[in-house]
């Protein structure tokens, strides 16, 4: 699938750990922002679906760390839809500083009914937007 989005993220002091590098868990936050913005660009507002009783829960996350980001770096978060099924979507994200890939990974999200936590089908209008 070829839908891709790029966003910029500036690294602030609050993003770093005691070693003056970005704390590893923050990369997942940047990946979340990338997924959200990719879906928004496709006309999908996740909060609208939450109000309708559906949410998209992360069920798997895999991240490979190559190099560290540091305070004041300007990063580019490149996110694409890698795969989809009736109930799940897999997004691939690269986190770059210039042309250098610092981290990359895949996150799998599942459509879940808010009321009972049971997996559900991704709504047809979302599937259409993803085509």
CA distance 30 to 22: 11
Neighbours of 34 (CB within 10 A): 26
Q: Could you give the CA distance from residue 64 to residue 67 in angstroms, rounded to a whole number?
A: 10
Q: Which of 15, 17, 45, 99 is catalytic?
A: 17
3 state SS of 99: coil
DSSP string, 6-20: EEEEE--GGGB-TTS
Is 17 noted as a catalytic residue in this protein? Answer: yes
Catalytic residues: 17
């Amino acid at each position: 699938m070829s839908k891709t989005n790029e966003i910029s993220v500036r690294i602030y002091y609050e993003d770093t750990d005691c070693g003056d590098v970005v704390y590893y868990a923050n990369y997942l936050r940047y990946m979340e922002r990338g997924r959200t913005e990719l879906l928004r660009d496709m006309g999908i507002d996740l909060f609208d679906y939450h109000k309708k009783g559906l949410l998209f829960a992360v069920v798997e996350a895999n991240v490979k760390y190559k190099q560290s980001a540091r305070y004041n770096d300007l990063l580019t978060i490149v996110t694409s839809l890698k795969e989809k099924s009736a109930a799940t979507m897999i997004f691939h994200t690269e986190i770059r500083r210039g042309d250098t890939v610092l981290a990359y990974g895949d996150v799998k999200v599942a459509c879940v009914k808010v009321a009972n936590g049971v997996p559900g089908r991704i709504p047809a209008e979302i599937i259409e937007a993803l085509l």
